[in-house]
Copies of this chain bind each other. A is one copy, B any other.
């Protein structure tokens, strides 16, 4: 069966789709009430983040748009030191979307939400003309435990920059699909609860956390240097990249510094906690390949010490990147 404009009417066809697919996987006490808005109990400071996902193809090696949107939003909440609690989803479906495909994506979304500890509390569906595409918006709400203060503006000289694992996998995976290149590269799409929890459980002095998505490490570090009024210096040799991804990049002239990831983050921590933090992260499922990749210094901008011993400044990504990577 395919999605038609009638599924976007708000009438019987919409309700049918709701119970046949969304209800089947998303069923929970809050959604079951079918009100105009969900009623939630929260306390203290909350974090709130929104993201739209337009990735193509909808299903890729290592994930799909449903898994991706939950991970992306959960990670944004985690990066503020919040414990992710609730998520909303808005589906914009193009006419012609196969309901079998939609079913798989919704199932994957529900599974990832359970894994990441978030409850899907509100949703909306719309249908537009088109050719079977799908866009999903997710908005997340998390609670920030008292005493946590993580912000892009907190970095100070002598802090160190840790990356949670290999860079470039998601970007290389999506590009491989588009170019119909066969390889073993999988998207790193993952919710990073375990990595973040490991830092707080080990009482690490965490200054800043950022997931390394669209725009890549280069963009993220420039933004942090700017917000904190510091200089960040990377050591190119320590940046972890999987061998197959490295080969892929070499052939296509891609720089892992600007490639998007969906299950990688950087943490800037106090220099004295560096080794302890690295060990904590490496003991998690999603942080096995973590590395210390740089240091914060007095000054401004982002610099990289290259393999050849030179030091050069790098800027944020300019222009295209990879369209519709997330």
A residues contacting B by CB (< 8 A) are 5-6, 8-15, 33-54, 75-77, 79-80, 82, 86, 88-92, 121-128, 135, 137, 139-142, 144, 151-153, 210-211, 213-215, 219, 223, 227, 258, 260, 315-321, 323-324
Q: List 5 A-B contacts (CB under 8 A).
A: A5-B320, A36-B80, A37-B79, A52-B92, A52-B125
Instruction: Assess whether A49 is in contact with B12, with CB atoms less than 8 Å apart.
Output: no
In the complex, chain B residues whose CB is within 8 Å of the CB of A214: 9-10
Please determine whether B48 and A122 come into contact, CB atoms closer than 8 angstroms.
yes
Could you tell me if B45 and A39 are in contact, using CB atoms closer than 8 angstroms?
A: yes
A97 CB → nearest B CB, Å: 14
Contact across chains for B48 and A141 when beta carbons are under 8 A apart: yes
Contact B52 A12 (CB under 8 A): no
Chain B proximity of A50: nearest CB distance (Å):
4
Query: Which of chain B's residues have a CB closer than 8 A to the CB of A125?
Result: 52
Indicate which residue in B35, B90, B141, B324 contacts A152 across the interface (CB closer than 8 Å).
B35
Q: Determine the main DSSP class of A at the interface with B.
A: mixed
B122, A79: Cβ atoms under 8 Å? no
B8 touches A37 (CB 8 A): no
Asked if B52 and A90 sit within 8 Å, CB to CB, the answer is yes
| Interfacial chain B residues near A39, Cβ < 8 Å | 45-47, 80, 144
Contact B37 A42 (CB under 8 A): no
Q: Is the CB of B137 within 8 A of A50?
A: yes
